[in-house]
Amino acid sequence: MRTTNFIPLLGVLASVAGSAIAQPMEVVTVEAARSTTVGQSAYGVPIREVTIQSRVSYADLDLTSEYGALQLENRIKETAKATCEQIKVGIPAEGSSQEGCVKDAVDGAMKDAHKVIEAKRSAHPAK
């Protein structure tokens, strides 16, 4: 009778899976929000906001360079435009506009992007 020892194989698989899980995702979240009544709670309270989140990867960018930082900013702007189109801010709702949605989404994502850029530059200072 032939027996196979799977325990070493399971250990290797667990360590590979663990290292993949432990690595942080290199993304910035772009969030588009629209204030509109979308329903009511069980108590009759209006539910007034719709939000869509999109992720922008910077894994392939060198954020220590100005070019890399500019590329991330451009990706955020394009993603904000696309996300705001998905949320249909073109349909009038009080206080909503396509331009306002994009501006708010870009501003929010750029706060996170600036933190990431600073962290990358601090970890790898210019020589």
Do the domain assignments include residue 41?
yes
Could you read off the pLDDT of 37-58 as tens digits, one per residue? 667 788 888 776 778 899 999 9
Q: Who contacts 84 (Cβ-Cβ below 8 Å, separation ≥6)?
A: 32, 98, 101, 102, 105
Per DSSP, 89 falls in state T
Domain count, the chain: 1
Rounded distance between C-alpha atoms, residue 95 and residue 48, angstroms = 12
Do the domain assignments include residue 31?
yes
What is this structure's pTM? 0.69
Do the domain assignments include residue 16?
no
Could you read off the pLDDT of 103-112 as tens digits, one per residue? 999 999 999 9
For the ranges 11-15, 35-39, 59-63, 73-77, which has the lowest average pLDDT?
Answer: 11-15
CA 87 to chain centre: 16
Do the domain assignments include residue 21?
no
